[in-house]
Amino acid sequence: MILKKAMILVIFSLLGMACYGQSMDLESIRANYQKAVSDKKLCHTMIKGLSTGTESSVHLTYLGAFQMIWAKHIINPISKLKTFNTGKKKIEAAVMADPINVEIRILRLSIQKNSPAFLGYHKNIEEDQKFIQANNKNITSTHLRNMMEALI
């Protein structure tokens, strides 16, 4: 009887994780990226969802980008800076792991173009713009293409 209950619990847990994982597909992450700037709750939800399992360098980049956006929603200046730097490290790690990925470069460019100057996170703007322009033919996502066109 206990084994039967345990099996049912495991099955429902796996189904729950599968459903949750589907809600964090790349297109929904892309769609929510720009909305998170003005929606604190959405930003927090995206961070939680991406923190559960970063399967790729693109997911790691989005996690870092959402964390950097989250810094905008935080009031305490020390926490803002700490959160921003945590996200920055994730984005830079993703760029190092996959330097020819256009989506990662678009996200980094987006953050660098929109970060306050005093944070000093602007050194790759020109490099990323050139890379994106040279490789934009590989972009198939509408959300990503719209983001790229707004940046360049």
Please name the residue that has the structure tokens 């792991």.
97
Number of helical H runs and strand E runs in the chain: 8, 0
- Dihedral of CA atoms 134, 140, 141, 144 in degrees, nearest 10, equals 0
pTM, whole model, 2 decimals?
0.82
Question: How many CA within 13 A on the CB side of residue 121?
Answer: 22
Residue 73 has pLDDT above 70, yes or no: yes
pLDDT of 123 > 50? The answer is yes
Question: How far is Cα 137 from Cα 68, in angstroms, rounded to an integer?
Answer: 28
pLDDT band at 53 (very low <50, low <70, confident <90, very high): confident
Query: Residues 16-28: pLDDT tens digits?
Result: 333 344 447 899 9
Mean pLDDT over all residues of the chain?
86
Give me the helix-helix angle, 125-135 and 102-114, nearest 10°.
Answer: 140
Give the Cα separation of 152 and 110 in Å (integer): 10
* φ, ψ for residue 94, nearest 5 deg: -65, -40
CA-to-CA separations, 124 to 2, 17, 93, 130, in angstroms, rounded: 58, 37, 14, 10
Positive or negative CA dihedral for 102, 144, 149, 108?
Answer: negative
